[in-house]
Structure 1
Amino acid sequence: MTFTFSRRLVLAGAAAIALSAAAFAPATAQAQGTLRIGMTAADIPLTHGSPDNGFEGFRFAGYTMYDGLVNWDLSTADKPSAIKPGLALSWEADPKDTTKWTFKLRPGVKFHDGSAFDAKAVAWNFDKLLNKDAPHFDARQASLVGFRAASIASYKVVDDLTIEFTTKTPDSFLPYQLSFILMASPAQYEAVGKDWAKFAAQPSGTGPFKLEKLVPRERAELAANKAYWDTARVPKLDKLVLIPMPEANTRTAALLSGQVDVVEAPPPDTIPRLKSSGMQISSNPYPHIWPYHLSRLPDSPWNDVRVRKAANLAIDREGLTELLGGYAVPAKGHVVPGSAWYGKPSFDIKYDLAAAKKLMAEAGYGPGKPVKAKAIISPSGSGQMLPLPMNEFIQQNLKEIGIELEFEVMEITSLINRWRAGAKAEQNAGASIINFSYATVDPFNAFVRFVKSDLHAPNGVNWGFYADPAMDALAAKAQNTFDKAAQDEILGQIHAKMVDDALFVWVVHDVAPRALSPKVKGFVQAQNWFLDLSPVTVQ
């Protein structure tokens, strides 16, 4: 079955590339130092400092133009990325009261419009997300990133370069979360008439690139910020061009024809042709999981742990990895076994069809009496890898044990909105699965936002409305633990419980394949969802 499916994908992909390549005229000469990227997104991510399109939005429209108080160190490919000082030089929780955090800010930083970055600007940026009475509060931005600041009870300006945060309860994960709250210019917001739509057309952050031109669904052109505050990361490029290309074979054809210089997620069956054409193929394992989120509402078929475990045992992950050309790592949980957070689960996730059928029979199901489930999926998108062939492969696997999947396919932004709405939302009626992948780079992103019962929609992304007092207690304990080794131990307990309870159907971890023109130099693929494009040059 795996060979037949892979062969079909290869032939279809080759035919599509042949047709698509003919549609692209040879690219006109580009200015020296211009990097053109074919994204998986169907549109340019929002540019006002709170990107949509998942973490691909942060990758290309977030960390290019903006900084957080805390940034990611993306300079190396040989170890997992860690957070580092960004617009804040340092941060510290008060040892006498760990709900109090003091952040010391970096002096001399300017926004792209020339105005000064200071503590008042920080407070203003949190007001736009958390203070509904603020004149510049933006419900759209709050929906995109406000949940990452959910633990913040208050904040106050101490002086020009010091701001203090108070969390509702102790939260050792706060610095990680602040890496996703990006600083936009209050002065520019005033200058464009106090209108976030106009700000998005003429944004101003503190990042290494500045937006020059924006054509929705077509392209965004970013110029290097040669006055960037981090002199080690001043871009070597003159310009960065972002082009939405959600169809995988179209991206490949665009690279082969010279329309773009880099493409995200090339189809695995096209990689031999790309290599033979002189293209560079870059990949690197990073913290990421491609799972099925399961509804736990009263009418969900996934409330029986035997069905959840059977689904996990029915997937031929090695065969799926073969389908993906080897560009994946079979999953044994939310994180890989070598992770400090893996713990000691007793349920071994593997391909065991006989055990899966036995569990289904015990639960009263099988091919003659199937479980029927509707899954919400996307055709492409940030971290979604190749979701259509992957979901079809899994559909065939699960049918063998008596689980029949029906797919509702939608563009990634719509899928993210349905994910944030939660399983109880009217638009998700009838669906008991949503397929959405993401980074597991920090404790909150990896675990807490999916297992805490107070983070059900609309407060968070516990999509299936899972609730377990024992898990709530573990999550609270982890957030209240500031010693890293002790925190890792608790996170391992959380992960072991997730696996033993089969809270998700886990499939594979991504290795983020990319194809690059031989003209592209200095590209570093960090062990992270995000990229630093500052050292890149184009010959």
Structure 2
Amino acid sequence: MRVLQRAAGLALAALVAGALPAMAQQKTLRIAMTAADVPTTTGMPNNGFEGMRFLGYPIFEGLVLWDLSRADRPATLRPGLAERWEQAPDDPRTWIFHLRRGVQFHDGTPFTADSVIWNLDRYFKPDSPQFEPAGSGITRARTPIMASYRKLDDFTVAMTTTRVASYFPYMAVYILFTSPQSFERAGRDWAKVAELPAAGTGPFRLGRFTPRVSAELLKHAGYWDQARVPKLDRVLLLPIPEANSRLAALRSGQVDWIEVPPPDAIPSLRQANFNVVTNSYPHVWPWLYQMGGTTSPFRDVRVRQALNYCVDRAGLVQLLNDTAEPSVGWLKPSDPHFGAPQHRYGFDPARGKALLAEAGYTAQRPLSFKVMISASGSGQMLPLPMNEYMQQNLKEACGVNVAFEVTEWNTLLTAIRQGPDAPILNGSTATNPSSPSSDPAVAARYFLQAFVPPNGFNWGQYNDPEFEEAFAALENARDEAAYDAAYARAHARLVDNPPWLYIVHDLNPRAMSRRVRGFVSAQSWFQDLVTVDLQ
């Protein structure tokens, strides 16, 4: 591993050194990502939400976009390639999107309803010439309720969902659009589209792309919103999955910005005049329980509750140098939709062991299970030391034996799209993918029975009738009070009948040179590179 890290460091040094002459005349921001590889560049990036953060929204946009302009509140939605949208008055399952006029892809071709339908066929119509299996899998998982769509005129599109969903715009935000001409130029081969580069409509356009080495974003001076033309000329994205390698790259001046610095290095980074930025945002770092597997101990709610009482979350926060906060539910206790659950989890080993004993697990017959984890990845924080802490904590506090199946991030994402007992899990009955907790659309995908794989992310096969009832009221809500009340009832069930072991909420740390200016740490997985400048 050290040899590989040394080789990666030499390759990074050579790449950055070779680029210095070009950078001398440009404002070039160099970012070290946590991903093990450069996310795919066809317009629907892999590598989870870090892929969307850096190789998604800056280049390829949706009809709906995130408003990342503020740091003092969770990110909301704003118009993107659609100027506005509404539910059809005669059918609440149908949403009408009114497209923005005058928008062009980076290749100069116009953005119209035809290009919207072409991209929707790419994701949702397997027999279309442009169908892209990889992009389809990602998009379908994030938009599992798409039923049909149609062009109403050159600048109006209708989308119909399988169920009434007040939150559908929060799903539409993940459908990105690539120029159909990119596909034609590549000979109708998506593998070649990735190398063109592909054309989107965003404030940055793709430059050079070298798998496992780097991706280059270039300012798009002709962006449709002239108030949001980037201040930077160029962004160089570098995959550096190992935290200490990212730290070394920042300290040596090879990069200007790193995602997730090692927590124990934060005080010295600040002393060395680096800027360390944190902010609360809707993100939870959990273990997902498998409740449908034939041998899973998590079919028993007492086991799921017990582990939530066995975790010393404050100790883990201390290990992370206060770059996280304890999690006792999918939402934070300060969230107005947290609700009033009966269980308020804290570090209470006696209660945890009592619940385990009720379920038949004692010192003579201890609970034992395997968790599939990744070595790095989007939003995964520092998964290896954090999971080692969890392993020791659960053993010492409640006598629980935990083993790990360590894999690569994209393999873990593939695994949680499979059913229980799938061979890829290798006996794991829990998994450790971090999750956004930004809106009910995400909750639907993770917790509604309708969205067990392959229809969504309900990998654990969670099925709670009270949650389903409350969530149906949320989906059909027509006023804010009804929506808020239903959301709070639904979330209380996620605490009292927990589908996950809630561990911590991330505080989104990143470290950067003092030369980096204008960055707004949005309360979101996604960040706006348009406002960033270099001194």
TM range (shorter): over 0.9
Partner in structure 2 of residue 499 of structure 1: 495
Partner in structure 2 of residue 171 of structure 1: 165
Give the TM-score normalised by structure 1: 0.94
Partner in structure 2 of residue 5 of structure 1: none
- Measured at CA, do residues 357 and 474 of structure 1 come closer, stay the same or move farther in structure 2, by a change above 3 Å? same
**How big is the shift at 1:23?**
9.8
Q: Render the CA deviation track for 1:367-399: whole Å, top value 9, x for unaligned.
A: 331111010001111111111111111111111
Partner in structure 2 of residue 3 of structure 1: none
Distance 2:162 2:402 in 1: 41
1:104-143 aligned within 5 A = 104-143=98-137
Q: Render the CA deviation track for 1:513-537: whole Å, top value 9, x for unaligned.
A: 0000111111111011100000111
- Measured at CA, do residues 496 and 489 of structure 1 come closer, stay the same or move farther in structure 2, by a change above 3 Å? same
Contact 1:360–1:402, Cα closer than 8 Å, also in 2: no
Partner in structure 1 of residue 42 of structure 2: 48
Give the TM-score normalised by structure 2: 0.94
- Measured at CA, do residues 455 and 17 of structure 1 come closer, stay the same or move farther in structure 2, by a change above 3 Å? closer
Structure 1, unmatched stretches of 5+, are: 1-12
Distance 1:356 1:182 in 2: 44
Tell whether 2:431 aligns with 1:437.
Answer: no
- Measured at CA, do residues 53 and 18 of structure 1 come closer, stay the same or move farther in structure 2, by a change above 3 Å? closer
Tell whether 2:73 aligns with 1:79.
Answer: yes
How large is the RMSD of aligned CA atoms in angstroms? Answer: 2.0
| Identical residues among aligned pairs (%) | 46
**How big is the shift at 1:150?**
2.4
**How big is the shift at 1:152?**
2.0
- Measured at CA, do residues 43 and 25 of structure 1 come closer, stay the same or move farther in structure 2, by a change above 3 Å? closer
Letter in 2 for 1:186: P
**How big is the shift at 1:149?**
2.7
**How big is the shift at 1:22?**
9.9
Tell whether 2:182 aligns with 1:188.
Answer: yes
Distance 2:9 2:173 in 1: 39
What secondary structure is seen at the aligned counterpart in 1 of 2:466? Answer: helix
Which of 372, 378, 394 is the equivalent residue of 2:374?
378
Contact 2:256–2:512, Cα closer than 8 Å, also in 1: yes
- Measured at CA, do residues 22 and 34 of structure 1 come closer, stay the same or move farther in structure 2, by a change above 3 Å? closer
Contact 2:260–2:509, Cα closer than 8 Å, also in 1: yes
Greater displacement, 106-115 / 365-374: 365-374
- Structure 1 segments, 4+ long, off by >6 Å, are 16-24
Partner in structure 2 of residue 468 of structure 1: 464
Greater displacement, 303-312 / 103-112: 303-312
Partner in structure 1 of residue 288 of structure 2: 293
Partner in structure 2 of residue 449 of structure 1: 445
Letter in 1 for 2:392: Q
Q: Render the CA deviation track for 1:191-227: whole Å, top value 9, x for unaligned.
A: 2211111111121100111111011000001111011
**How big is the shift at 1:64?**
1.1
- Measured at CA, do residues 215 and 20 of structure 1 come closer, stay the same or move farther in structure 2, by a change above 3 Å? closer
Partner in structure 1 of residue 139 of structure 2: 145
Q: How many pairs are equivalent?
A: 524
Distance 1:22 1:132 in 2: 43
Tell whether 2:87 aligns with 1:90.
Answer: no
Partner in structure 2 of residue 34 of structure 1: 28
Distance 2:475 2:185 in 1: 40
Distance 2:43 2:10 in 1: 37
Distance 1:272 1:333 in 2: 30
Letter in 2 for 1:51: P
Which of 198, 203, 216 is the equivalent residue of 2:198?
203
**How big is the shift at 1:232?**
2.0
1:272-311 aligned within 5 A = 272-297=267-292, 298-311=294-307
Contact 1:345–1:499, Cα closer than 8 Å, also in 2: yes
What secondary structure is seen at the aligned counterpart in 1 of 2:38? Answer: coil
Distance 1:25 1:89 in 2: 44
Letter in 1 for 2:387: N
Structure 2, unmatched stretches of 5+, are: none
Contact 2:198–2:206, Cα closer than 8 Å, also in 1: yes
- Measured at CA, do residues 57 and 20 of structure 1 come closer, stay the same or move farther in structure 2, by a change above 3 Å? closer
**How big is the shift at 1:360?**
1.8
**How big is the shift at 1:78?**
1.1
Distance 2:226 2:425 in 1: 48
What secondary structure is seen at the aligned counterpart in 2 of 1:431? Answer: coil
- Measured at CA, do residues 390 and 530 of structure 1 come closer, stay the same or move farther in structure 2, by a change above 3 Å? same
Letter in 2 for 1:435: N
Partner in structure 2 of residue 339 of structure 1: 335
Letter in 1 for 2:266: I
Contact 1:234–1:534, Cα closer than 8 Å, also in 2: yes
Contact 1:24–1:257, Cα closer than 8 Å, also in 2: no
Greater displacement, 57-66 / 397-406: 397-406
What secondary structure is seen at the aligned counterpart in 2 of 1:449? Answer: helix
Distance 2:66 2:512 in 1: 23
Contact 1:17–1:253, Cα closer than 8 Å, also in 2: no
1:356-371 aligned within 5 A = 356-371=352-367
**How big is the shift at 1:353?**
1.4
Tell whether 2:55 aligns with 1:61.
Answer: yes
Contact 2:466–2:493, Cα closer than 8 Å, also in 1: no
